[in-house]
Structure 1
Amino acid sequence: MRPVPVDGSPRATARLADALAAALDGTGPAVVPVARGTAAPAAGPGPAGEPAPGTAVVIATSGSTGRPKHVMLPASALVASARATEHRLGGPARWLLALPAEHVAGVQVIVRAVLAGAPPLTQDLRDGFRPADFAAATARLPGPAARRCTSLVPTQLLRLLDADGAPLEALRSYDAVLVGGAALDAELRARAADAGVSVVATYGMSETSGGCVYDGVPLDGVRVRLETDGRILLGGPTLASGYLGDVDETAAAFVNGWFRTGDLGRWDDTRLTVLGRADDMIVTGGSNIAPAAVERVLTAQPGVVAACVVGLPDPQWGEIVGAALVLTGPAEPERLRAAVRADLGRAAVPRRIRVLPELPLRGIGKPDRAIVRALLGAATGASDTGSEDATDPNR
């Protein structure tokens, strides 16, 4: 394995692109992108500690369980994903990398660009994501005759829309803006569409070489199956070969050609709707509440920029629903609760609401539900809107 340090700079991205190109064509070892402050996985003795044959990239998950796993991605899976994306989006394009290169979404931007014949142009992220820098980087891409694509997380999309001016004009210039890493709420998507931005919502994870379902439709060759409880299973040529040095985790997650995700979903006609993670499901008074469903209702309300919904322990109901919100104006908890009640029923109504300046994030833009749960479970403070009566027998 070859660890390649990445720090958000164009120079580091160029080194990673060269290493990835060699790994993809088999002339170089498996690449491990390593962010500042982290350590590369150590290869242990024996087959379990070495990458599987054909591995091109070993990528760390964002560690939602507190212990990152190291996913082995074959060159064939990365190429299959990149080619399927190219086909879905209408052909080769020049790519702007505006994501951290140590995450699978960033790696795939580089892979797509390399396979299209040119390394990606890189936005310098050493000082964080800045809309003005996005506009400046976009201006260095070839003119309108060349197709251009980029990949963002919802928070970046929101910042670019809020910035307006040159950043928004830059965003409009892309033939496709892939948005993934976290759920894309309907209001933000509608706002982007109204602004003339060509958004494609993606669903996937490190174990599937990144996004493998676009706007609810699987990429060519990707298979989707739902278990009886709604758990999403993914199959096809984009799958990882397993977890480095962890035979038991590999055997539990990769079963008979399928990857068992931790997500729940449903089919809406021929499109997959992701309901959220199975272990995030809230069970309150015998009712199962999907946090993503409550978040969709909340973020559809005027003045709600972002929402993260979690379950909080309750001695009577087992759990109650709590919500952390980012707002543009004064909190109106009863209006928000009424909207949830009307759409999803009384059991889904947030009993505790707290307003935050921004949601705590982990990884590549996912809300950190553990921190949100701790904040909502803390003593009531000035930013609390108060709690609805959780003992209401008619809820």
Structure 2
Amino acid sequence: MGIPAGATVTALARWLAADGEPEPWVVETSGSTGRPKRVLLPRHAVLASVTASARRLGTSGQWLLALPATYVAGLQVVCRSLVAGHPPVLLEDHGSFAEAAAAMTAEERFVSLVPTQLHRLLETDGEALRGFRAVLLGGGPVDPALRRRAAEAGVRVVATYGSAETAGGCVYDGLPLDGVAVALERDGRVRIGGPTLFAGYDGDPALTAEVLTDGWFRTSDAGRFDEDGRLQVLGRLDDVVVSGGVNVPAPAVAARVREHPGVAAAEVLGVPDEEWGNRLVVFAVAAAGADLDLETLREWVAQAHPRSWAPRQLVLLDDVPLLPNGKPDRVRLRGMA
């Protein structure tokens, strides 16, 4: 049984109002690739993020908490709302998303979601979504098709990139928030600097020293800058699967698979394989009435990418297993292969 969101809101209100500099707030990472880490977030880093976010969005207001308050995205929803002078509205206190949105009292309203939530809410609660000044979307890559659907429905989406170590999203639509610096290492690894950085990992000074260097946080993600200078996150560095001696970017393959009309949702991962070193596995949810098979998806991928990128296994699912924060449960997926 998790901690009720209301209890976390009360504790955060006290933490924000405390005299002096209180002890850092501890946020656990999702553990989507293994053991969760305990991230120490100073109050000044959280407040720097709150201020920069409001400046980028153009105003502050009331927030709807539709994510776990114990993770960094939920933490920031609560803090942004409290700093703006509004108690956050908690989805868990209402029967539906539309009821929670209707309970909001401020003129300017915001919500943070993960892509899976937005995909489902566009089907059921488009009118409620249109009432928000902005819908922040993070926790994973945002498919262009999903963003187009949102725009066509009149929903303003802002794609965010960040992590617990950066006090949440610190890059909005590819551009860093004011005060945040983004750089790339030679291998494409994304580095982030600025006032929103964490203080270290609780009980793990060795890992802290490895990723916090010279005022920069060395992420586990690969990226590049497009022609407009916007950051494009290509996926985790370990998402590049070496299969048969070929480097295959799993996120690019997943994005292509999701474009297939017979696919409702999909993830792509590499798993150890005796013949190939690693084999690329597609975990897919078929669209209603669709009949998916491996060869069809292999041909679909090969139409847009080298044939060596085509997946070698298909696992059909009723739903993609998710962690409490809405991210795919990669450990569980690998076990299914």
> Would you call these one fold, judging by a TM-score over 0.5?
yes
CA distance in 2, matches of 1:105, 1:343: 34
Alignment correspondent of 2:308? 347
The whole-number CA distance in structure 1 between the counterparts of 2:73 and 2:50 is: 11
TM-score calculated relative to the size of structure 1: 0.80
* Counterpart among 275, 278, 281 of residue 316 in structure 1: 275
Is 1:372 matched with 2:333?
A: yes
TM value normalised by structure 2: 0.93
Secondary structure of 1:288's aligned partner: strand
Q: Distance in 1 between matches of 2:47 and 2:164?
A: 14
Q: RCO greater where, 1 or 2, for CA within 8 Å and sep 6 or more? A: 2
Deviations 1:344-369 (A, max 9, x none): 21111011112101111224122122
Q: In 2, Cα distance between the equivalents of 1:77 and 1:347?
A: 44
Cα deviation digits, residues 117-142 of structure 1 (max 9, x gap): 112111116xxxx9x61100111113
Give the Cα separation in 2 of the matches to 1:157 and 1:202: 14
Paired AA for residue 79 in structure 2 = V
Q: Tell me, in whole angstroms, the C-alpha distance in 2 between the residues paired with 1:315 and 1:6.
A: 43
Q: Deviation of residue 18 (structure 1)?
A: 3.5
Matches within 5 A, 1:274-289: 274-289=233-248
Does residue 59 of structure 1 match 2:27?
yes
| TM-aligned CA deviation for residue 26 of structure 1 | 3.2
Q: CA deviation at 1:54?
A: 4.8
In 1: Cα distance, 2:33 partner to 2:283 partner:
21
- Unaligned segments of structure 1, at least 5 residues: 29-52, 377-395
- 5 Å-filtered alignment, 1:294-305, equals 294-305=253-264
Pick aligned residue for 1:139 from 102, 109, 114: 102
Looking at structure 1, the residues matched to 283 and 264 of structure 2 have their Cα atoms a distance apart, in angstroms, of 11
The aligned counterpart of 2:10 is: 18
Matches of 1:268 and 1:101, distance apart in 2? 33
Could you tell me whether the CA contact under 8 Å between 2:32 and 2:327 is conserved in 1? Answer: no
Conserved? CA contact 1:321–1:350, under 8 Å: yes
Counterpart-to-counterpart distance in 2, 1:55 and 1:74 = 7
Work out which of the two has the higher radius of gyration on C-alpha atoms and give 1 or 2.
1
2:29–2:38: 8 Å Cα contact kept in structure 1? Answer: yes
Mapped contact 1:186–1:300 kept (Cα < 8 A): no
Choose the corresponding residue for 1:97, options 56, 65, 69.
Answer: 65
- Equivalent residues of 2:32, 2:330 under 8 A apart: no
Unaligned runs of 5+ in 2: none
3-state SS of the aligned residue for 1:340? Answer: helix
Kept after mapping to 2: 8 A contact 1:24/1:56: no
Find the aligned partners of 1:307 and 1:55 in 2 and give their Cα distance.
Answer: 40
Ranges of 4+ aligned residues in structure 1 off by more than 6 Å: none
